[in-house]
Amino acid sequence: MPTVNENFLKLEKNYLFINIAKKVKAFTAAHPDADIIRMGIGDVTLPIAPVVIDAMKKGADEMGVKETFKGYEDSGAGYDFLRNAVSDYYKSFGVDVLPEEIRINDGAKSDCGNIVDIFGNDNTVLITDPAYPVYVDTNKMNGRNVIYADSNEENGFAAMPDFNVHADIIYLCSPNNPTGSVYTKQQLKVWIDYALKNNAVIIFDSAYEAFITQPELPRSIFAIEGAKKCAIEMCSLSKTAGFTGMRCGYTVIPSGLTFKASDGSDVSIAQLWGRRQGSKFNGVSYPVQCAAAAVFTEEGQKQIHKNIEYYQENARIISSTMEKLGIKYTGGINSPYIWFKCPNNMGSWDFFDLMLSKIEVVGTPGQGFGKNGDGWFRLTAFGDRDKTIEAMQRFEKLVAEIK
Amino acid sequence: MPTVNENFLKLEKNYLFINIAKKVKAFTAAHPDADIIRMGIGDVTLPIAPVVIDAMKKGADEMGVKETFKGYEDSGAGYDFLRNAVSDYYKSFGVDVLPEEIRINDGAKSDCGNIVDIFGNDNTVLITDPAYPVYVDTNKMNGRNVIYADSNEENGFAAMPDFNVHADIIYLCSPNNPTGSVYTKQQLKVWIDYALKNNAVIIFDSAYEAFITQPELPRSIFAIEGAKKCAIEMCSLSKTAGFTGMRCGYTVIPSGLTFKASDGSDVSIAQLWGRRQGSKFNGVSYPVQCAAAAVFTEEGQKQIHKNIEYYQENARIISSTMEKLGIKYTGGINSPYIWFKCPNNMGSWDFFDLMLSKIEVVGTPGQGFGKNGDGWFRLTAFGDRDKTIEAMQRFEKLVAEIK
């Protein structure tokens, strides 16, 4: 009989957002007339930009004509036209990343979850808490030792390393999901110094970089000196261009990034990852890659920024409600997430139930992201403008009632 | 310093088809005027059916309109419209598979490579040799013990189990890649009996089922009694509908399929796989799913079958050349692959080099699929008609010269 991977049995039975979906489903079954406003899962709501749709349709048409039909991609790492576009995009905010250091994928979640395959199971993994559940779950699936760096009210939910603690693999996310905090260049430099001192690798999730408006904040870890010696970066078009249902992202592995095998030889991380992907992935749909490339054109950037600004205005509406009510929060600027302290020191899941039952607004309980999230709550700015305003009106009333 | 997964270092440095691509590249660099005919990698060449392209464009248009925009898929397992279509497709050849037993993916290679994540590393894996390299590589990446069942000239390249040997995880592929052999119902029943006796799981790759023309041959392992107690099936639209560059497939896990955890409790394989996918995958692009669903419509089936028949005629042209030259082969009927014995008892790679240099035809050396492949060679029927005819004319000349 095959043994199963018993590490799975130690995980939470369901992925966080599946638990939330179940709770909401049960509530709507009991209250069929409920006018629920969803600000929980970080999903976008605006349609995809016209120039992107046109590019996808053109790509689809090419697949229907023998002369322009595309089969397997030779490398599986993405077409040159898209890797070049991503490289140019990095250049636009002053970061040098070569096209051959970029691999196109079907979304940051896949690479973020699968990258651990190329590392040993004996590594110590350091994750900031609270965090996107994928970092923790995918390492626990391999039975790795996970330790945490606390993000909390005191440090503005931007954990910094403890130089007395050793780690081999470090996960950072900035702008942060769920807390919306953004590391400064100086803070990231400390993390890089820590990684270099420990000979560790940083897996840097920059999925929300397009929401950064303050030019002094880094949009890529490769904006910081030393990062090419220790970091891998993962980004996605999900939030940048509404690709949550289109599925396209990219991973950057510096070509000089190497670690040692037990025999002392240098192992190229890009080559190891390429070998993994060569056997377990077959590239991204050609029309999707065409759509993604259109995001990086001048017209594409103009169109997607209109959407990003729409969400940023939602974020301002949510933040200013928190200000008005005197509720502590992080995020909202440079981030589509607003992370706030539950009123009356309530626990996250209690506040989730209260919000759902009293004002029919769905958010995400901070505890779902880790222990430091308890007592905190995440709202997203990815909703409809009218519904965001309506939700904040209901929220004000709720807070007035319970205070 | 992070340790790397050293199992990777024991693998062949490159995936087979990347090695072949490199050899061809070097040859064309040295011979820029070479008129190369590619019959190596099993990639299709006909464009995608019009009804499928239309469906994809319609799906793309929906993504550009707020009311019909689709973000994250709730389950990540595929939209109901597609899971229902796949279930109905199974019904059309007499196999009962429920929509909820089907998960949509971005191609069979991904699931085939990733499925091992949910099993322990202490399992013994049985793979027929020769085989699609992904089965071996992805298990060696986890350090699993791999044993082989020989497919050879004596058994018509259709390996059967040895009941004296124990295995926990078994890979079968029928119609077979690379040998083109197809298991009969009786043969598959023996494999199922073997799996049930060993309490093993069968991972059944049916990627080439659409090429089966003889109605008595099984197109799914679930056509055989007992399979729902031991098998997982993986299929793809890559060869069925030319989706190698579109990326869509599906995996079927019977809802009753369970194995025991070490504490004796039953573990649902579908649930375990769902948990894995929940953390490491985010669903298939919506317009791609729309395109895939169109494949299963009446018009879609009519259009794709015209393409399949075109490839089948190519297969007949290649097989009849082998017959004429008195060369032993398998496949060609019920399969897009022709697997033949290299003339003059040559080794596979020697014959590869000879074909490339003398007649500028690229095939795949049998040895690349395992030790029993040495001395054998794979050609695909997925090429252009004229080029297939031309390649066979060149091949006849070559064989006449060297005999």
User: Cα angle vertex A374, ends A370, A376, to 5°?
Assistant: 110
Q: Could you please state the CATH topology (level 3) that the domain comprising A50-297 is classified under.
A: Aspartate Aminotransferase; domain 2 (3.40.640)
- The CA distance from A198 to A166, in Å, is 7
Helix (H, G, I), strand (E, B) or coil at B319: helix
Quick one: tokens of B369? 């699929």
Smallest Cβ–Cβ distance between A110 and the set B53, B260, B280 belongs to B280
Confidence band (pLDDT; 50, 70, 90) for B74?
confident
d(CA A38, CA A387) in angstroms, rounded, equals: 9
| pLDDT for the residue numbered A328 | 98
Interface contact A323, partner B, CB < 8 A: no
Per the CB < 8 A criterion, the answer to whether A48 and A239 are in contact is no
- With a cut of 70, which residues of chain A have pLDDT below it? 14
What CA–CA distance (Å, rounded) separates A397 from B12?
64
Cis before B178? omega within 30: yes
In whole angstroms, give the CA distance from residue A55 to residue A48. Answer: 11
Chain B, residues 42-81, CB within 8 A of chain A, namely: 43-50, 52-53, 56-57, 60-61, 63-66, 69-74
- pLDDT at position B75 is 83
Q: Has residue B184 got a pLDDT over 90?
A: yes
Choose among B47, B114, B280: nearest Cβ to A66.
Answer: B47
ipTM metric: 0.96
> Cβ(B147)–Cβ(A30) under 8 Å?
no
B73 interaction partners in chain A (CB closer than 8 Å): 245
Please list every residue in chain A whose beta carbon sits closer than 8 Å to the beta carbon of residue B41.
Answer: 72
Check if the beta carbon of residue B69 is closer than 8 Å to that of residue B62: yes
**Which pLDDT does position A223 carry in this prediction?**
98
pLDDT the model gives residue A84 = 98
Sorted by sequence, the CB contacts under 8 Å of residue B118 that are 6+ apart come out as A4, A5, A8, B269, B272, B273, B276
Say if A306 is an interface residue toward chain B (CB within 8 Å).
no
Q: For the purposes of burial, counting CB atoms within 10 Å of the CB of B295, is it exposed (0-12), middle (13-18) or buried (19 or more)? A: buried
Q: Which residue spans of chain A are classified as CATH 3.90.1150.10?
A: 6-48+300-402
Task: Please report the residues numbered 329 through 388 in chain A whose beta carbons come closer than 8 angstroms to any beta carbon of chain B.
Answer: none
Can you give the pLDDT at residue A403?
A: 79
Task: For residue B139, give every residue at least 6 positions away whose Cβ sits within 8 Å of its Cβ, in sequence order, or none.
Answer: B116, B125, B127, B146, B169
Q: Residue A280: list chain B partners with CB under 8 A.
A: 109-110, 113-114, 134, 138
pLDDT at A75: 83
Instruction: Read off φ and ψ for residue A22, nearest 5 degrees.
Output: -65, -40
Q: How close A270 gets to chain B, by Cα (Å)?
A: 12
Q: Is B167 on the interface with A (CB under 8 A)?
A: no
Residue B138 clears pLDDT 90, i.e. is over it: yes
Domain with CATH 3.40.640.10 in chain A: 50-297
Q: Is A199 an interface residue toward B (CB < 8 Å)?
A: yes
B6-48+300-402 falls under which CATH superfamily? Aspartate Aminotransferase, domain 1 (3.90.1150.10)
pLDDT confidence bin for B17, thresholds 50/70/90: confident
Average pLDDT, chain B: 96
> What is the pLDDT, as a whole number, of residue B101?
98
The pLDDT tens digits for B270-317 are: 999 999 999 999 999 999 999 999 999 999 999 999 999 999 999 999
The 8-class DSSP code of residue A40 comes to S
Structure-token pair, residue B302: 């009519």
Q: Is B122 on the interface with A (CB under 8 A)?
A: yes
From residue A399, how far is each of A326, A327, B49, B269, B294 by CA, in Å?
11, 10, 57, 45, 50
- B207-258 pLDDT, tens digit per residue, is 999 999 999 999 999 999 999 999 999 999 999 999 999 999 999 999 999 9
Q: CA geometry: angle at B76 spanning B70 and B81, to 5°? A: 65
| Among candidate residues B269, B139, B174, B148, the one with its CA nearest the CA of residue A1 | B269
What pLDDT is attached to residue A18?
Answer: 80
- Kindly report the nearest CA distance between residue A267 and chain B, in angstroms: 8
**pLDDT at B14 exceeding the cut of 80:** no
Average pLDDT, chain A: 96
User: Distance (Å) from the C-alpha of residue B294 to the closest C-alpha of chain A?
Assistant: 14
Stretch B116-123: mean pLDDT: 96
Mean pLDDT confidence for B66-72: 97
CA distance B344 to chain A (A): 33
Cα of B177 vs its chain's centroid, Å = 6
| A71: its two tokens | 């089969």
Residue entry with tokens 């970029």? A102
- B282 min Cα distance to partner chain A (Å): 7
Alpha-carbon span B229 to B197, nearest angstrom? 11
Give the pair of three-digit tokens for residue A297: 């054109």
- The residue of chain B with its CA nearest to that of A288 is B285
Would the CB atoms of B69 and A48 count as touching at under 8 Å? yes
Confidence (pLDDT) at B40: 87
pLDDT for position B12: 80
- Which residues in chain A are closer than 8 Å to B72, comparing Cβ atoms? 41, 43, 244-245
Select from B44, B60, B199 the Cβ nearest to the Cβ of A56: B60
Predicted confidence (pLDDT) per residue in A139-181, tens digit: 999 999 999 999 999 999 999 999 999 999 999 999 999 999 9
User: Contact, A120 vs B5, CB < 8 A?
Assistant: yes
Burial A64-96 (b: 16+ CB within 10 A, else e): beeeebbbbbebbbbbeebbbbbbebbeeeebe
d(CA A214, nearest CA chain B) in Å: 28
The amino acid that residue A233 corresponds to is E
Mean pLDDT of B13-21: 79
Q: Is B278 exposed, middle or buried (0-12, 13-18, 19+ CB in 10 A)?
A: buried
Q: Which two tokens stand for residue B123?
A: 């399992």
From the list B14, B63, B280, which residue is nearest A47 (CB)?
Answer: B63
Q: What are A117-131's pLDDT values in tens digits?
A: 999 999 999 999 999
